[in-house]
Amino acid sequence: MKLSAPIYHMKRKAKRMSRERGIPLHEALDRIATIEGFSAWSMLAAKAAAVTPASRLFSQFRPGDLVLVGARPVHGKTLMSLELAVEAMRSGHRAAFFSLEYTEKEVLDRLRAIGVEPAQFDRLFEIDCSDAISADYVVKQMAAAPCGTVVVIDYLQLLDQRREPDLSVQVRALKSFAHDRGLVVVFISQINRSYDPSVKPCPDLGDVRLPNPLDLKLFDKMCFLNNSEVQLRLAS
């Protein structure tokens, strides 16, 4: 169940209700919770507290979005991207994971690592680990994908290895395809080794590793991770 407004808006509304109706604040909070479909404010608060970074980011997705998920190795960028795919499937959308890095078994193992049994989404989830993955390949494979499908590409820099064509051409092609078909395309991205967590808690666009030029303003949403830090950003 999705909340109709941020939790702080609801608290503000409850305070106003408490003043206007002369009732205790806890009673006003419970009334607000009832409107939202919860038996008590405590239940609503627990729901709000359970919102994950992936669900927060997914709630901001719009058809046609290009999304970047960046982190240094072993800091959770693959798991975060899989969580985004799971959020899509829980919402009834399809998801696809194209990997030049992992085998199908490894992708399934990582799904289980985030507490998801792959069979639960068997008909909604597609894994493709072909060596032929490129922008053209993804476009062909996803040509019939319905609006709202989340497509994860693992990972941005590997598309650049063969330079067929240039990375900038491939990303622009996928952005155009996502816009035309109403898909969301998520790129997992490496971060430069020069990134220093003692200087800033999370990397940012300036830390994205780019062997060749790419206009990072093409991305509509970004998620950067480092240890337990997660920063969600919208394009400026």
Residues 11 and 119 in one domain: no
Task: Give alpha helix (H) positions in 91-182.
Answer: 104-113, 135-141, 167-181
Residue 189 sits at φ, ψ, to 5 deg, of: -135, 140
In this predicted model, what pLDDT tens digit does every residue of 164-178 receive, in sequence order? Answer: 789 999 999 999 999
Strands of the sheet containing 66-70, edge to edge, are 125-128, 95-99, 150-154, 184-189, 66-70, 221-226, 229-234
Count other C-beta atoms under 10 Å from residue 187's C-beta: 24
Q: Are 149 and 184 in contact (CB under 8 A)?
A: yes
Residues 15 and 37 in one domain: yes
Residues 130 and 190 in one domain: yes
Residues 146 and 212 in one domain: yes
| Distance, CA of 46 to CA of 7 (rounded, Å) | 11
Residue at 210 is within a domain: yes
Residue at 2 is within a domain: no
Residue 8 has pLDDT above 70, yes or no: no
Residue at 215 is within a domain: yes
Number of domains in the chain: 2
Residue at 1 is within a domain: no
Report pLDDT for 163. 66
In this predicted model, what pLDDT tens digit does every residue of 64-122 receive, in sequence order? Answer: 999 999 999 989 899 999 999 999 999 999 999 999 999 999 999 999 888 788 898 98
Residue at 12 is within a domain: yes
| Distance, CA of 203 to CA of 94 (rounded, Å) | 30
From the centroid of its chain, how far is CA 221? 9
Residues 60 and 107 in one domain: yes
Residues 127 and 214 in one domain: yes
Burial tier of 137 (Cβ tally within 10 Å: 0-12, 13-18, 19+): middle
Q: What is the CATH number of the domain that holds 78?
A: 3.40.50.300
Long-range Cβ contact pairs of 45-53 (< 8 A, separation 24 or more): 45/7, 47/1, 47/3, 48/3, 48/7, 52/83, 53/80, 53/223, 53/230, 53/232
| Distance, CA of 236 to CA of 226 (rounded, Å) | 22
Residues 26 and 139 in one domain: no
Residue type for position 164:
E
What is the mean predicted confidence (pLDDT) over 174-203?
Answer: 96
CA-nearest of 104, 103, 93 to 65 is 93
Strands (E) in the chain, as ranges, are: 66-70, 95-99, 125-128, 150-154, 184-189, 221-226, 229-234
Residues 36 and 115 in one domain: no
State the average pLDDT for the chain: 91
Q: Say what percent of the chain tops pLDDT 90.
A: 73
In this predicted model, what pLDDT tens digit does every residue of 133-144 receive, in sequence order? Answer: 999 999 999 999
Residues 59 and 142 in one domain: yes
Residues 147 and 45 in one domain: no
Residues 59 and 26 in one domain: no
Helix 77-90 with 104-113: angle, nearest 10 deg: 80
Query: Residue 228 belongs to what domain range?
Result: 53-234
The token pair that represents 8 in the structure block: 């702080």
Contacts of 109 (CB under 8 A, 6+ apart): none
* pTM, to two decimals: 0.79
Residue at 89 is within a domain: yes
Residue at 45 is within a domain: yes
Residue at 25 is within a domain: yes
Residues 167 and 192 in one domain: yes
